[in-house]
Structure 1
Amino acid sequence: MQGSARLMRQRQFLPLFATQFLNAFNDNFFKMAMVMLATYVILEGGEQEEAYYNALAGAIFILPFFLLSAIAGRLADSTDKTRMIRLIKTAEIGIMLVGATGIWIQNIPLMFLALFAMGVHSTFFGPIKYGILPQHLADDDVLAGTGLVEAGTYLAILTGTIAGGIVDPHTAAIGVIVVAVVGRITAQFVPPAPAEADAPDSKVDWNIFRSSWRLVSDTMHVRRLFLAIMCISFFWAIGAVLAAQFPPMVKNALGGDNTVATMFTAIFSVGVATGSVIINMILKGKVSAKYSPVSVLAMAAFVLMLWWIVKGWVHVPDSPLDGDTLLNWREFLAIRRGDMILVALLGIAVAGGMFVVPLYAFLTTTVSKSETSRTVAANNIVNSGAMVIGALAYGAMAAVGISIADTLFLIAAGCLISAWIAQRLHRACEEVPCPDDPEVTPVR
């Protein structure tokens, strides 16, 4: 197996890695800039309005994944994936022009329009960035490549989040356009990835509900794929709730300013990237769900740790919080137990990365190369449905007065369900090796 560093020097991988990195960076640069602008400048309705806005923003971005992933997966498997990447990155430039205008004039509907369009853009890019790996990499390099893509995604989330959280809105408006242009340039260097010989014809069913149902049902009837997709979906539902919580939790439950919210998301991103690398080293290139159950149990333990700290935060003595003054990141870290929150966040993220990366690699190695994008697309449909439900459920819980701390307790309970499913997947893979699974039939 080639090392991760060696993959980063290959033309078969580096341009794709750079393009997907810039894609994830810009998504989060724009989202964080608009969330911070709304939370700390535009909105004046208090905790419930801010929580609802953040949940709605998450749902708007994820909704296209639910509606359009079937079409995206079909196109990706039946055409040259590299050609699609270039078209998608060209569209991003126009989308960011709209988003930049919304940020510049502080117009929430315009920012939501661009956010939805970025969701559409990422819906079509998502199946490609994982589905192209088996075409460009050797079989025993797919896990390493998947881990690098996942780690790169979260490092991009980290840097994009930091940029969106601390950069002046007018500067952010210009920055998202520049990043989109650079991403289009790197896309030009991705090697061709033509459709496989046994790929489906290019006819697309544009009925989004029928095509989505058909794709999901054709994929989920395979027991191991069903279990893997359900595990990943629980992970992303939990992630959607946590992401929606960060700004209102920091401001209203912990008394922190935008620099603290940025630090939280940054710590989370570093943790997932770290977990992605660690699990690849432990598994040594073998695609396996062996460590997924224990990883998600560890994740639940750290979520409970975060719940315990947030629940008792108001009782922390010697807090410099005074009246309506918000803590910056230095003041936050000076508070006793402030560093414990960061440990909890890091633990959640590292465990989450170790849990989810092997499952993504499993999806792309279990089926034939001509079906990888559609398998990822089916996964995206179920994941996005879970994320939308999670984000909207969080918004509803906030609307009826359920505290942020109590929602963390419910997240820990969700982790237990995910651990149970992951254990079933591991047992199923022990019975018959998952790659080369005779149950896997073509996705139609």
Structure 2
Amino acid sequence: MLTSMHLLRTRRFLPLFVTQLFNAFNDNLYKTTMVLFVVYAVYNDESTEAAFSGLASGLFILPFFILSALAGQLADMRDKAKIIRIIKLCEIGIMAIGAVGLTLAWKGVAVHAFAIPLLLAALFAMGVHSTFFGPIKYAILPQHLEKDEVLAGTGWVEAGTYIAILAGTILAGPLAVQHTGWATVGILVTACIGYLVSRQVPPAPPLGGPEKLDWHILRASVKLVRDTMHNAEVYYAILAISFFWTIGAVLFIQFPPLAKNTIMASPEVASLFLVVFSIGVAIGSVAVNALLKGRVSARYSPISVIVMGLFVVAFYMVAKLWEADQPASLLSVSEFIAWPMAAVLLLCLLGISVSGGMFVVPLYAFLTTRVSPDKASRTIAANNIVNSGAMVGGSLAAMALSAAGVPITEQLLLCAAMCLFSAWLARRLIVAENAAADLAAAAGA
């Protein structure tokens, strides 16, 4: 824990950490405000609302699938700090487009014909922005941190991400419908501050020799994933992370329409769901680092994701009980908290997220510690390709189930089932981890 706190006082980590905070905050403030505004102020049909939420998630994820190979190459072959500054400068322009879309939608000007397409275009552009930032925020850690600091740094980045999501979500709830104008100001100001902070990130020059960029996106993606997956530890870590984020994608798609149509709650309560989820992942991220004492290991991952699945089932059961005795009108935050079973519902959600954070954080550390430093960004990029493909698949499955008339509440059981498969993948990772340790011990003998 002392090592973790020490990192927050160093220039080799703090500017990156703060830049990531603003990045995650702005992504979430914009996306959540946009989705909640459209769900609560534009549409009035559960299947349409779920379809829009799924479309928004899919558009944000799609760039990770098609551009991660190029992003990984750039991050390994160029100065990572310089790329961060370029990315953050682009964010200012993207948020300007999003601000115009939000303003038009809020004023009721060409909402369906122009405002919503503009909002979705800015969301896709933010997905591109995050695709190029994603490999760097983890891959730069082994370059600036000592070996025994990498897990702590990874935990802080992951926890910081969810703290920022928490802050963005808290603001998005009240801003989404009644004060959208303030949201437009917020996303622009945050983008500008993020760029200024990014200028303090220390240089991180490429560690390998110069290589030619492969601009053939499909070929580069296939080659990158193939070249990365030969390491058993990295292979199972990537697959386990991918299934975790598929579960997360489905849950985040379900939260806004579930809050509105099953829980009968206001946008602020839908925002509260995401807040509790974010707090939980942050707690789990820090807790697992304390349990592992800085050692990169998947030993707690299988049990963590099984517990997560049990909490998903519990959340489903509470939602079904709630459905049987629904309020007559949308509940405010205070009315929701006073409603019977609200505390149990929130505790189930907190349990899902804490156990999820404990599951996923050590797996990211595998990706940067089990490969050579000059290939760390490309390993993260390969992970992002597989993750995004799985998440798009999960988003499409959720949209298809909604289109087929499957209630949002019943779709929660899909997430619980996926937790079992994630536990199996984590167990396979432990086997690979032990085999690698035995091999290293034999080589050192």
Shorter-chain TM-score above 0.5: yes
Deviations 1:270-321 (A, max 9, x none): 00000000000000000000000000000000000001111221224xx6x2
**SS at 2:340 equivalent:** coil
Is 2:25 the counterpart of 1:7?
no
Corresponding residue number in structure 2 for 1:201 = 210
Superposition map of 1:399-414 within 5 A: 399-414=403-418
What code does the residue aligned with 1:64 have? P
**Structure 1 435/4 Cα, relative in aligned 2: closer, same or farther at 3 Å?**
farther
Q: Does 1:269 align with 2:285?
A: no
Aligned to 2:156: 148
Contact 1:82 1:192 in 2 (8 A): yes
Structure 1 distance, partners of 2:234, 2:25, is 29
The residue that corresponds to 2:104 in the other structure is 105
Task: Letter of the 1:414 partner, please give it.
Answer: M
SS in 2 for 1:432: helix
What corresponds to 1:183 in structure 2? 194
- Is 1:233 equivalent to 2:237 in the alignment? no
Residues 37/211 of structure 1: CA separation in 2 closer, same or farther (3 Å cut): same
> Following the alignment from structure 2 to structure 1, what is the Cα–Cα distance between the partners of residues 275 and 13?
25
What pairs up with 1:25-424 in 2 under 5 angstroms? 25-44=25-44, 46-106=45-105, 107-167=115-175, 168-196=179-207, 199-316=208-325, 321-322=327-328, 325-424=329-428
Instruction: Return the offset for 1:174.
Output: 1.1
Cα distance, 1:225 vs. partner?
1.2
**330 and 434 in structure 1: CA distance in 2 versus 1, 3 angstrom threshold:** farther
Residues 185-214 of structure 1 deviation map (CA, whole Å, 9 limit, x = unaligned)? 000100000011xx2524211111111000
Instruction: Report the Cα distance in structure 2 between the residues aligned to 1:347 and 1:259, rounded to whole angstroms.
Output: 21
Q: For each residue in 1:75-102, what CA deviation from the matched residue of structure 2 results, as whole angstroms up to 9, or x when unmatched?
A: 0000100000000000000000000000
**Secondary structure class of the residue paired with 1:11:** coil
1:434: Cα distance to partner? Answer: 9.2
Aligned to 1:23: 23
For each residue in 1:309-354, what CA deviation from the matched residue of structure 2 results, as whole angstroms up to 9, or x when unmatched?
11221224xx6x22xx201111111111111110010000000000
Unaligned runs of 5+ in 1: 440-444
Alignment check: 8 A CA contact 2:246 2:387 kept:
yes
Deviation at 1:438, TM superposition (A): 11
For 2:101, the aligned partner's letter is G
Q: Is the 8 A contact 1:154 1:270 kept in 2?
A: yes
Using the TM superposition, give the Cα deviation of residue 156 of structure 1 relative to its aligned residue in structure 2, in angstroms. 0.5
Query: Which residue number corresponds to residue 442 of structure 1?
Result: none
Question: Aligned partners of 1:200 and 1:99: how far apart in 2?
Answer: 39
In 2, Cα distance between equivalents of 1:188 and 1:217: 35
Name stretches of at least 5 consecutive residues in structure 2 with no aligned partner: 106-114
Give the equivalent residue in structure 1 for 2:112. none
* TM-score, length-scaled by structure 1: 0.95
CA–CA distance in structure 2, aligned partners of residues 372 and 179 of structure 1: 29
Matched residues, number: 431
Distance 1:438 1:165, change over 3 A: farther
- The structure-2 alpha-carbon separation of the partners of 1:435 and 1:24, relative to structure 1 and needing over 3 Å to count, comes to farther
Aligned amino acid, residue 240 of structure 1: A
- Rounded Cα–Cα distance in structure 2 between residues aligned with 1:6 and 1:42: 47
Q: Separation in 2 of the partners of 1:237 and 1:250?
A: 20
Structure 1 position 430, deviation (Å): 1.2
Identity of aligned residues (%): 54
- CA deviation vs aligned residue, 1:94-149 (integer Å, no higher than 9, x gap): 00000000000011000000000000000000000000000000000000000000
Amino acid aligned to 2:90: A
Equivalent-residue separation in structure 2 for 1:315 and 1:405 (angstroms): 12
Runs of 4+ more than 3 Å apart: 434-439
Question: Amino acid of the residue matched to residue 18 of structure 1?
Answer: V
Q: Secondary structure of the residue that 2:437 maps to in structure 1?
A: coil
SS at match of 2:347: helix
> Deviation at 1:221?
2.3
